[in-house]
C-alpha cells in the first residue's frame, strides 16, 4: 500500500511536493451530528487510544523552549503537567516582607503555547490562562466556585481550580502563603518571606490542549503516522519582575527588599493519540484528519475608552467560528471582573445581524448550568456557539458562524466607566478550518 502523507494548507513537507487543498473557500461540513458520531465510533472500534510520555522539558523564564511530538498514530491531544519553584530572597534584616501573586497564577507561567504542523501551519497559539478557559468550557470540574456568604452576587473572583488541577505551596518554613476567599484561582494571593531569609514558592498546574472538536468526536485528528510529518511544540514563559507595581508580572509589588532568586520550571508532556487501524484503511480516518480544529489567540488589542460598545474586535474571515474567549485587562494590567464591568456583548455578523445578544448575567447563568461549574475565570468573556442546551459542547452546527461568508464581522461590548483605561484585551478564536489536510 502506498505511503500515506498529510498536508496542511499550501506547504511542502520534507521529501518533495504533495497535493494540497485550497482552504480559501468554505468547504462542506458533515450534514449532521449523527453522521460524525457514527464515523468516529467506526474508527474507534477499529483503533485504540494510547499515549506516550515525552521527554521532560526544562523551561527558562522569559524564554521559548521547543520539543517535537512523536511520529505515531493520529494525534488527539497534548497534556502538560508543569511544576516549578521560585526563590524570593528578603534582604531586610529586621522585617518580613510580602509580595503579591496575580489571580491567574500559576497558569500565567505559560505566556504562549505554540503548535506548528510541518513547521509552518500554526494549529494552536494561546496562553496557559486562555487554555484554562477552553478547559472550563469543555471539561466539567475544571473550575469550582469558592463558597460565598448569603446574599452575594456572582463574581468571577469566585472561580477556583481543584488542587489536582493546580496548586501553590510554601517551599520552606521561611515562607508564608496568604489567602482569601476569592481573587485567586488557587486561593493564594500573596507570599510573606521572613526577615533576612530566602522564601520559596512551589507550584504545579495541568493543561490539556485538544486537537479534536470533542474527545469522542474526532474531527481534527493530527496525522502523525509517518516520518514525513512533524509537529513542533514551543512553550514560552514570562519574565518575572518582583518590583513591578502592578500585575504585569506573575509575582509583583516588592519594595526593593525582596528580589528574584533561583527559578526551576519543568514541563512533562504527554501525547495522546489513536492508533492507525490494522489493516490500515485510510477511509476510516481520512475525513477526521482533513479538518483542523484550531485555537488561535490575538493579543494586545487596545481598549482605549469606556462606555457603550467601547470594546470592539474585528474578526478575520475564512473559517467556521465555534467560540471566542476575550481576556480583558485594565490600565494596570489587572484582570477585570467581567460579571460587573462588562455588558451587552454581541457579535455583528453581516453588518446588521447581531448574534447572541444576551446580558452578562444571563450569559453567566447559562454557562454555569451547561458546564456545571463556574464557566470563565477572572477577566474572561466567553461567546460560545456550542452551548446548545440539549447537547453542551456538541457538534450541532445551528449556531456556528460561517466566516467565509461574513461581511465585516465584529465583536462588541459595553465597558463600565469604573474600568481604568487605556487597557487591552486578548481574543482566543476557537475555530474549524475545513479541508485543511489531505491524505494522498
Q: Is the pLDDT of residue 3 over 60?
A: no
CA distance 205 to 127: 13
Mode of pairing for the β-strands spanning 231-236 and 64-68: antiparallel
**Phi/psi of residue 161, nearest 5 degrees:** -105, 145
Q: Is the pLDDT of residue 262 over 70?
A: yes
Q: What are 222's strand-pairing partners? A: 75
CA distance 112 to 415: 27
* Residue 228, pLDDT score: 83
Which three three-digit cell numbers place residue 265? 520550571
Q: Which of 358, 334, 364 is nearest to 346 (CA)?
A: 358
* Residue 427, pLDDT score: 98
Confidence bin at 30 (pLDDT 50/70/90): low
Q: Is the pLDDT of residue 44 over 90?
A: yes
Q: Is the pLDDT of residue 24 over 50?
A: no
Which three three-digit cell numbers place residue 210? 485538544
Which three three-digit cell numbers place residue 336? 477585570
Q: Which of 365, 358, 413, 354 is nearest to 389 (CA)?
A: 365
How many Cβ atoms are within 10 Å of 390's Cβ, its own excluded?
A: 6
CB 330 within 8 A of CB 340: no
On the question of a cis peptide bond just before residue 256, with omega within 30 degrees of 0, the verdict is no
* Residue 133, pLDDT score: 96
* Residue 385, pLDDT score: 84
Q: Is the pLDDT of residue 92 over 60?
A: yes
What is the full DSSP assignment across 79-123?
Answer: EEEEEEEEEEEB--SS--EEEEE-TTTTGGG-SEEEEEETTTEEE
Mode of pairing for the β-strands spanning 166-170 and 342-348: unpaired
Q: What are 82's strand-pairing partners? A: 205, 267
Q: Is the pLDDT of residue 5 over 70?
A: no
Q: What's the sign of the alpha-carbon dihedral 265, 173, 199, 378?
A: positive
Instruction: Provide the residue ranges of all domains of the chain, joining segments of one domain with +.
Output: 24-439
What would the mean pLDDT of 420-428 be, rounded to a whole number?
A: 98
CA distance 238 to 246: 15
CA distance 327 to 330: 10
Tell me the CATH number for domain 24-439: 2.70.9.30
Q: What's the sign of the alpha-carbon dihedral 278, 283, 288, 291?
A: positive
User: Helices 128-138 & 360-371, crossing angle to 10 degrees?
Assistant: 70
* Residue 393, pLDDT score: 54
CA trace torsion 330, 333, 338, 341 (10° rounding): -20
Q: What is the pLDDT of residues 201-238, one digit of tens each?
A: 999 999 999 999 888 889 999 999 888 888 999 999 99
Task: For the chain, give the mean pLDDT.
Answer: 88
Q: What's the sign of the alpha-carbon dihedral 235, 239, 245, 251?
A: positive
Which three three-digit cell numbers place residue 135? 478547559
Q: What is the pLDDT of residues 99-143, one digit of tens each?
A: 999 999 999 999 999 999 887 789 999 999 999 999 998 888 899
Burial class (CB in 10 A: 0-12, 13-18, 19+), 308: exposed
CA angle in degrees (0–180, nearest 5) for 222-223-229: 110
CB 302 within 8 A of CB 311: no
What would the mean pLDDT of 59-88 be, rounded to a whole number?
A: 97
Which three three-digit cell numbers place residue 417? 466607566
What would the mean pLDDT of 135-162 be, rounded to a whole number?
A: 86
- Strand blocks (E) in 385-422: 401-402, 410-415
Q: What is the pLDDT of residues 282-340, one digit of tens each?
A: 888 988 998 899 999 999 999 999 999 999 999 999 999 999 999 999 999 999 999 99
Amino acid at each position: 500500500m502506498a505511503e500515506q502523507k498529510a498536508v496542511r494548507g499550501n506547504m511542502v513537507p520534507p521529501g518533495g511536493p504533495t497535493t494540497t487543498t485550497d482552504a480559501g473557500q468554505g468547504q462542506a461540513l458533515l450534514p449532521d451530528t449523527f453522521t460524525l458520531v457514527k464515523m468516529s465510533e467506526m474508527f474507534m472500534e477499529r483503533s485504540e487510544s494510547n499515549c506516550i510520555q515525552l521527554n521532560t522539558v526544562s523551561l527558562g523564564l522569559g524564554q521559548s523552549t521547543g520539543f517535537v511530538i512523536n511520529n505515531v498514530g493520529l494525534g488527539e491531544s497534548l497534556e502538560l503537567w508543569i511544576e516549578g519553584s521560585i526563590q524570593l530572597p528578603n534582604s531586610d534584616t529586621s522585617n518580613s516582607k510580602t509580595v503579591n501573586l496575580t489571580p491567574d497564577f500559576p497558569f500565567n507561567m505559560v505566556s504562549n503555547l505554540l503548535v506548528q504542523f510541518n513547521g509552518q501551519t500554526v494549529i494552536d497559539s494561546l496562553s496557559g490562562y486562555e487554555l484554562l478557559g477552553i478547559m472550563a468550557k469543555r471539561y466539567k470540574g475544571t473550575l469550582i466556585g469558592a463558597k460565598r456568604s448569603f446574599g452575594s452576587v456572582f463574581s468571577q473572583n469566585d472561580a477556583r481550580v481543584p488542587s489536582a488541577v493546580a496548586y501553590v505551596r510554601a517551599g520552606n518554613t521561611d515562607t508564608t502563603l496568604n489567602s482569601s476567599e476569592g481573587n485567586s484561582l488557587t486561593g493564594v494571593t500573596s507570599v510573606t518571606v521572613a526577615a533576612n531569609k530566602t522564601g520559596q514558592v512551589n507550584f504545579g498546574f495541568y493543561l490539556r490542549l485538544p486537537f479534536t472538536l470533542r474527545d469522542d468526536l474526532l474531527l481534527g485528528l493530527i496525522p502523525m503516522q509517518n516520518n514525513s510529518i512533524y509537529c513542533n511544540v514551543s512553550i514560552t514563559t514570562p519574565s518575572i519582575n518582583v518590583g513591578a507595581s502592578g500585575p504585569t508580572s506573575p509575582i509583583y509589588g516588592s519594595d526593593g527588599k525582596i528580589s528574584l532568586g533561583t527559578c526551576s520550571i519543568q514541563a512533562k508532556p504527554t501525547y495522546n493519540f489513536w492508533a492507525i487501524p490494522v489493516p490500515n484503511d485510510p477511509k476510516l480516518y481520512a475525513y477526521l484528519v482533513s479538518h483542523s480544529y484550531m485555537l488561535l489567540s490575538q493579543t494586545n488589542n487596545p481598549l482605549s475608552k469606556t462606555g457603550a460598545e467601547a470594546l470592539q474586535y474585528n474578526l478575520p474571515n475564512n473559517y467556521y467560528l465555534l467560540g471566542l474567549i476575550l481576556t480583558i485587562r485594565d490600565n494596570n494590567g489587572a484582570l477585570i471582573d467581567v460579571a460587573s464591568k462588562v455588558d451587552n456583548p454581541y457579535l455583528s455578523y453581516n453588518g446588521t445581524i447581531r448574534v447572541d445578544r444576551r446580558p452578562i448575567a444571563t450569559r453567566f447563568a447559562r454557562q454555569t448550568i451547561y458546564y456545571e461549574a463556574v464557566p470563565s475565570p477572572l477577566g474572561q468573556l466567553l461567546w460560545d456557539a456550542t452551548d446548545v442546551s440539549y447537547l453542551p459542547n456538541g457538534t450541532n452546527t445551528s449556531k456556528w458562524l460561517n466566516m467565509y461568508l461574513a461581511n465585516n464581522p465584529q465583536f462588541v461590548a459595553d465597558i463600565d466607566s469604573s474600568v481604568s483605561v487605556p487597557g487591552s484585551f486578548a481574543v482566543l478564536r476557537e475555530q474549524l478550518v475545513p479541508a485543511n489536510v489531505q491524505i494522498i
